[in-house]
Amino acid sequence: MRSSKTSDPLPALLSQGAICREGEYAWELNAFPAALQNGPNLGYACLGGQFWFLLADGSLYEPFWLEANSVERGANETWPDYKFRSCLEVADGFTALVKKTDFEQEAAQFKSLQSPFGVLFNAYFVTEAELASLGLKS
């Protein structure tokens, strides 16, 4: 969703602990909660995201069914309120998934995925202007 061609790179404080691959950011699991905490103070809301399984050779598997998202911005919701609410909703979903998910079992659904692999969380942070350009409520 975030593309380096259409968006500026995320600030260093927000992207700390993340890799950027083809304009998309994915965080190490232990680093993502800090990104959610820093996002609103840097002017960003979080739309949500999904987990990635990343192999040492750069191969990427996306278990799209493992996602944590925020609810769209309400018609009368202020940007400051939405920034904080969206990050809280994603944090709640992310934390619940990390606690209950057996990532080895989920990875087994990909017949060609070989261990070992890293687990990252690919999330979409947007400014108010970027949200508007996506055609979503802003």
Residue 19 lies in a domain: yes
For 14, residues 6+ apart whose C-beta sits below 8 A from its C-beta are: 35, 38, 39, 42, 44, 125
CA distances from 105 to 108, 112, 113, 115 (A): 5, 14, 12, 12
Domain that holds residue 28: 12-133
Q: How far apart are the first and last CA of the chain?
A: 17
Residue 2 located in a structural domain: no
Max CA-CA distance within the chain?
48
Q: Is residue 58 part of a domain?
A: yes
Q: Is residue 4 in some structural domain?
A: no
Asked, for residue 3, whether it belongs to a domain, the answer is no
Q: Domain total for the chain?
A: 1
> pTM (2 decimals)?
0.91
More confident residue, 115 or 101: 101
d(CA 52, CA 55): 10
Tell me the per-residue pLDDT of 24-59, one tens digit each, with 9 for 90 and over.
999 999 999 999 999 999 999 999 999 999 999 999
Residue 130 has pLDDT above 70, yes or no: yes
- What tens digit of pLDDT does each residue of 58-100 get? 999 999 999 999 999 999 999 999 999 999 999 999 999 999 9
Pairing of strands 117-126, 24-28: antiparallel
Confirm whether 1 is domain-assigned: no
